[in-house]
Amino acid sequence: MTQDQRSDNFCENFPGNSSENFPEFPERISNNPDGGNDQNPRELPLSIGSQPSRTVSADPYIVEGTIPCFFHESPSKHDFSGWITRHRIGNRKVTRSLSLSQYRDAERAWYHAVKLDLPLNRFISIKPASANIDPLDPDQRVKLWQRYLNKLSEFVSYHQFPLAYLWTRESKRNTGHDEHLHVLMHVPQHLTRRFNKVVRGWSDDANEIDVRASSYYSKRNSRGAPENVLTYITKNCPEASRNLGRTTKLGGPIFGKRAGMSTNLTAKAIAKYEVKGRLRRELGLATVVHGEDIAPLREANSNRSLARAI
């Protein structure tokens, strides 16, 4: 069975809450010896590790070499000593779990993406090796994840399709070790193979980045509540377990935002969408949906919502 076939069976073989291990992907890409730096818009960015960057082809999303992972930032101005036991550092919080409102926002965003004709059909998990992620201070971790999210946005902008994603961060309970990132994202079907190859190429460790297909398939847990890819990435929400019967696995401290989404999936965007929908129905106007066909509009900025659905 090929990797893509295994990906298509993702939900039927959904990973259990007791394990964060990712499968090995045997396909690797030969090293490109040319050097470069991540300030060049025609080069892929870097995460963490110790090797120099690798240059890619003139098309920045055709990967010609394995991109080694390394990350270096100057020390933060904040004192992060004992940060895992603190509740706030500067103007940012240190949280131990998702709140119920965060869970509900993520759930609404996940379903709203379907209404925009932008189903979140890719599941990306980025889990750097402990030796690389654990020494980073909390501020460096925030910058690392932002760089990954920026690269996903750049792929969207380059290929000119609407940006739609939601993400969560997790770490080990009490220690904050092994912090990692989960992302659910929309990618047009004709670009999924290329997307998988590009994102896996951002690391030279086959176990660090897992990219696979995702669907809206759900099953029921012992309490009758749904279990799906969304409940998996939001499993560290004790309130959802108490109030909604969701399966929970407690996690560790996270500095800064624990979850987020693209602007077209926020609560504000959803409310605006619903108001416009009511007005159109009352006025008897046709429903207009721009999904993958929005590409001809050539919206250059992928950091804002490109989907316009009424």
Is 261's pLDDT higher than 90? yes
Cα distances from 9 to residues 4, 22, 161, in angstroms, run 9, 15, 25
Beta strands in the chain (DSSP E): 88-89, 92-95, 122-126, 165-170, 180-185, 209-213, 219-220, 226-227, 254-255, 259-261
Helix count and strand count (H, E) for the chain: 8, 10
284-299, pLDDT tens digit by residue? 766 655 443 333 333 4
For residue 66, what are its two tokens? Answer: 């394995």
Sequence-distant (≥ 6) Cβ neighbours of residue 76 within 8 angstroms: 137, 138, 139, 140
More confident residue, 187 or 9: 187
Is 193's pLDDT higher than 50? yes
Number of Cβ within 10 Å of residue 215's Cβ equals 15
> Contact 181/46 with Cβ under 8 angstroms?
no
For residue 103, what are its two tokens? Answer: 């869970």
**CA 239 to CA 243: how far, in whole Å?**
6
**CA 12 to CA 14: how far, in whole Å?**
6
Question: What share of the chain has pLDDT > 70, as a percent?
Answer: 66
pLDDT at site 270: 95
Give the model's confidence band at 250: pLDDT under 50 very low, under 70 low, under 90 confident, else very high.
very high
Q: What is the identity of the amino acid at 237? A: C
Is 82's pLDDT higher than 80? yes
**Mean pLDDT across the stretch 267-291?**
75
105-153, pLDDT tens digit by residue? 999 999 999 999 999 999 999 999 999 999 999 999 999 999 999 999 9
145-183, pLDDT tens digit by residue? 999 999 999 999 999 999 999 999 999 999 999 999 999
> Contact 265/164 with Cβ under 8 angstroms?
yes
Please give the mean pLDDT across all residues of the chain. Answer: 77
pLDDT at site 77: 77
DSSP assignment of 178-221 equals S-EEEEEE---GGGHHHHHHHHHTT-S-TTTEEEEE-----EE-
pLDDT at site 71: 52
8-61, pLDDT tens digit by residue? 443 434 443 333 443 333 333 223 333 333 333 333 334 344 333 443 334 444
> Contact 153/163 with Cβ under 8 angstroms?
yes
pLDDT at site 286: 65
Question: What share of the chain has pLDDT > 90, as a percent?
Answer: 61
For residue 201, what are its two tokens? Answer: 């190429």
